[in-house]
Every structure is written in C-alpha cells, then in structure tokens.
Amino acid sequence: MIHQAKRISSLSIICTLFLLFATAQQEKPKFTRADTLRGSLNAERAYNVLKYDISITPDFESKSIQGKNTITYIDSGLKTMQIDLQVPLEIDSIIQYEGKLAFKREGNVFHVEIWNDANLKILKYESCRLCKRQLTIYYHGNPQIAVRPPWGGGFIFTKDSLGRPWMSVACEGTGASVWYPCKDYLGDEPDSGASLTMIVPDGLVAVANGRLIKKNVVSKGMTSWTWAVVNPINNYDIIPYIGKYVNWRSTFYGQKGNLDCSFWVLDYDLQKARKHFTVVDSMLRCFEYWFGPYPFYEDGYKLVQSPHLGMEHQSAIAYGNHFLEGYLGRDLSGTGWGLKWDFIIVHESGHEWFGNNITCKDIADEWIHESFTNYSETLYTGYYFGKEAGNDYCIGTRKTIQNLNPIIQYYGVNHGPEGTDEYYKGGNMIHTIRQVIHNDEIFRHVMRGLNQNFYHQTVTALDVQNYINKISGIDFTPVFNQYLRSTAIPVLEYKYEEKNLVYRWTNCNPDFNMPVRVDVNGEHWLKPTTEWKKERIQTDASTVLQIDRNFYVNQRDVSKNP
C-alpha cells in the first residue's frame, strides 16, 4: 500500500537499490575522459561562479568571433581551475590581477594555473578560507556552427528573408562552452547573474537576456549593446540575438506586481507578431496560477524572434514558430486541442519555472525540466478549454512514447536522457501522480511549492521526489522508480471469482503499489500490489472493468487466460 511520505518502507529502499544495480548491469556506453570532465564536479571545478561578464564581436562574413569573459567566482584555494571552451575556439590569454596565467588545453577543457599568493590584495568573502576572485579570458576563432538548431547546437550565422545578417546561438545540449569560456556544468549557475555585450555593425540590433543596460558607439560603424540579468541563469540560456529587430512593450499585472514584457521581431514581421503574441498574457496568467509568480520579475519577460524553432532562454525566450498555432501548425497530441495555442510560446515559457527557476544539477535529471514543462501544456489546455480538454491533450501524447530506455540513466558524465520520453512519458507520469493525489488544490500547492521551495536553485531528482512526497503526504517513490528508472509500463491483471474481483500489478518493480481508479459497476479505487488481492464487488457476466484513462497504465483480463 501507499505509505505516508515520512514512512518510506524498507521495501522501497531495497527496490531503489535493485533498480540502481539493474541499471549498472545494462550495457553501459563507453564514456570518455572528455565526457567525465564535462559532466562531473571534479576537484578543478571546486569553485562557485558568481557572475559572467561576456563581450563578443561576431564577424558575419568570416563566421568568427572575438570575445572575452570576466568570471567572478569564489574558491577555497584552488591551484588548478578547469575552464571549458570547445574546439575550434582558442584562448589567447587569461588575466588575473594584471598578470597572465599559464594554461594547458585538453580537448574542450583548459587547465588553468591559479595565483594564490597570500600577499595579493583580494576581497574576503564569507570567511578567511573563501575568497572572491576574478579572471578574464580572451579568446577568438570560428565557433562550431549549428547544423540543425536548436537540436544541433552552435553559433548561427544566417540571413533573414531579405538577405540581411541574422545571428544567434542555440546550445542547450551542446553546451555554452561552444561559444564562450565558462564552467560548463548545470549545477553551477552564476549567483549574481550575467551581462552580455555584443559589438555589431550599425544598423543591426543586438538583444540578449534581461534588461538593456547601455548602448555605445565604440568606433566608426560599430555599436555595443550591453544586456544584463541580476538573477542566477543557466549557462546555455545566455544568448545573443543580432538582426534587424524592432520591438514593442506591454505590462502584465501579475502576482508580484507589474511585469515588464517586451517583444523583439524582424521589422517585416511586426504587424503579424503584434497580433499573435497577445497569447502571452493568457500564458502568464495560467502559469502564475499553477506554478506561482513568474520567477524573474527583476529581469522582465521577452519573446525574441529567432532563426530556429525556439528555446527557453531565460527572460529572452527564442521564438521561431512562424506565428502559427500548434507546433509549426501541427497538433502533437492529435486531438485538436494542440491547435488552439502556440506551442513554442507555451512550452518554452513554461521552462521559466521548470528548467530556469528550478534547474537540475546533472543532465541525467533533465526530466525535471522537460517532464514538468511538457505537463504545462496540459495545464494550459485545461485552464482555458476545460479539464477534460487538458486530459485529452495529455493522453493524446502517449502515442509518441517509446520506452526504449529509462529516462534517468548515468550521472557524472555528459550523457542526458535519450529520445523524447522525458517529455511525453514524464508528462504522463505527472498526470498520473495528479490522479493519485485526487485533489487539484493539493496538486497546485505542490507545483507552486516546488517553485517557491527551490526558487533559483539547482536540484537533484531526489530533491524533487522527496518534496512531492512530503507535500502530498503520499510516498510516490515506487511511482518515480517505475516511470523514470524503468521502461516497463505497469499492467493491472484482474479476474472475477464469483462476486469477487481479484487483481494485482504486473510488469512492474516489486514494490509498485500505486492506487488506481476503475469503473466496474461504478467508480472504485483499488489499491493493488504485486500480490493478488480480493475485493467483494457486485459483478455479473456482463461486468467490464475499465481503468480511468488518465492513469498511464495498462490492463489485462486473465479470467480466461490466467
């Protein structure tokens, strides 16, 4: 049976260990040292980034960039520091306290010798053992070009429909180090935010995250644009947009006051964008209801037209859905409800809460970003078109689930979930959890509480799971193990013995004990385990059992084929 959150059974613990052992016995990919350097928190990464101050000068014709990044950080006496910058970009020099640091390249990693002379005048921070420091990295080169953005990441040098330069970056999977030097690790966001200065030819407009801080003429024909965020931000969310942009502004009257909204589109798309982007108000209203206040009031909310489909760039959402409803005019659920709203606006903005406000520490837990954000689509549909419409939408996405690999696989390496199950299977897992809670006020309290409790934080899967268990009062550990760490979908086997219904869970982990709502001569809640249970229910020859469609499980009548 389901236990209260504070009473997690020893069987659950045993089964969790069994799952971890079973995963280890699978044919593990051959990870390289480069995978480990990128995906792990090793000794050379034992520093906490406080801020990035990035400056780049892109050259459209040569498809190259020149840049620098000043990293403000805290360390406790590092001798060697890992800085990530992907080939073919090159570091020219690294300056600290007006002196050059020695460094050595190893693939996409630079090992930097840090100065720790006690006589240096450094600003003490928190304690005598922890020091706030800065170093500036100068670099240049032709960055990796995005082949199929946003999936094939890198720098984007393209042209708009009038043949004018249009530049940006998409780098979630590839990593931010594909275009600037940083600590390319999800678990360390710059605590005090970041700034991005773009030096571009006159006539082009440069947009980035947060607010425009300054705009200066730097030389004949060249202008610098500096934008900054004050909140922590994912490395891959810091993005330049450079093109023939125009903009307008609006105000959303939200739960924390007035939220500044701005919209940046190519000049020739202004009129259609003004009409189409009115959905932003309804999206923000829905998500503030379900998830709590927009997490970045200080930095504002922006939609920026992009030369690719879209991405969740914090406070500067990339939009490339061609002003169409659905996903490029298609309904991913096949129900019709997905054509009632713009997929990119809803989905990518949902990441402001799950992915940007709450960020996973390890890419193996990327389901925290994608599963909850996938479910934001269901919540949006239900909020405006009725709960059953939302149910239809969520259930309709099940046809895309593959169940080829567990969603959670390997920690400490540069290896995230494979396929799209972290979206659709994860979303259906959350929908199933909502059914078990069976109280939308409590479910809403869980969603809002996650964003409040982990506000601007990086988290693990266990952080999220334990919080949901605690606030719901239900131990969902077997449910998370089943849907995140296994590929099997539970099957409710049942049969009739005289006037008794006999049932159990199969095709599942040994401790799977999720309650399920069924219709069998009326609505009933069953509490199956993997052992046969018997329950007195009025039945006859015509009795049919049907599991509530909102539970992502299967069923099998074994009366004739035990």
Q: What is the predicted pLDDT for the residue at 204? A: 98
- Token pair 């606030």: residue: 471
The fold of 491-557 is Immunoglobulin-like (2.60.40)
d(CA 340, CA 329) in angstroms, rounded, equals: 10
Q: What is the predicted pLDDT for the residue at 130? A: 61
* Nearest partner of 232 among 360, 51, 89, judged by Cα: 51
Q: What is the predicted pLDDT for the residue at 19? A: 47
For 44-243, CATH number out of 2.60.40.1730, 2.60.40.420, 3.40.50.2000, 3.30.70.1450 equals: 2.60.40.1730
The number of beta carbons lying within 10 Å of the beta carbon of residue 256 is 12
Q: What is the predicted pLDDT for the residue at 495? A: 93
Q: What is the predicted pLDDT for the residue at 76? A: 76
d(CA 319, CA 180) in angstroms, rounded, equals: 22
d(CA 357, CA 558) in angstroms, rounded, equals: 47
Q: What is the predicted pLDDT for the residue at 428? A: 98
Read off the DSSP letter of residue 107.
Answer: T
- Going by C-beta distance under 8 Å and a sequence separation of 6 or more, which residues neighbour residue 381? 337, 338, 340, 341, 389, 390, 392, 393
- Quote the CATH superfamily of domain 10-29+346-484: Neutral Protease Domain 2 (1.10.390.10)
Q: Is 129 exposed, middle or buried (0-12, 13-18, 19+ CB in 10 A)?
A: exposed
Same fold, 10-29+346-484 and 491-557: no
Mean pLDDT by 10 residues, the chain (562 residues): 35 44 59 93 95 98 98 91 98 95 97 69 46 94 96 96 98 96 97 98 97 95 98 98 98 98 98 97 98 98 98 98 98 98 98 98 97 98 98 98 96 92 98 98 98 98 98 98 98 90 96 96 94 85 87 92 65
Distances (CA, A) of 364 to 25, 340, 408: 17, 33, 6
Read off the DSSP letter of residue 178.
Answer: G
d(CA 479, CA 477) in angstroms, rounded, equals: 5
Distances (CA, A) of 480 to 8, 38, 151, 397, 464: 13, 27, 27, 19, 10
- Token pair 């219709």: residue: 519
Residue 530 tokens read as 């993997």
What pTM was computed for the model?
A: 0.92
- Side-chain-side CA neighbours of 75 within 13 Å: the count stands at 20
* Element (DSSP H or E) covering residue 292: none
Q: What is the predicted pLDDT for the residue at 131? A: 80
Q: What angle is formed at CA 378 by the lines to CA 375 and CA 383, rounded to 5 degrees?
A: 125
Domain boundaries in the chain?
Answer: 10-29+346-484, 44-243, 491-557
Amino acid at the residue 261 = C
Length of the chain: 562
d(CA 10, CA 13) in angstroms, rounded, equals: 5
Q: What is the predicted pLDDT for the residue at 556? A: 96
* Element (DSSP H or E) covering residue 7: none
Beta bridge partners of 327: 330
- Side-chain-side CA neighbours of 116 within 13 Å: the count stands at 14
Residue 502 tokens read as 């006999």
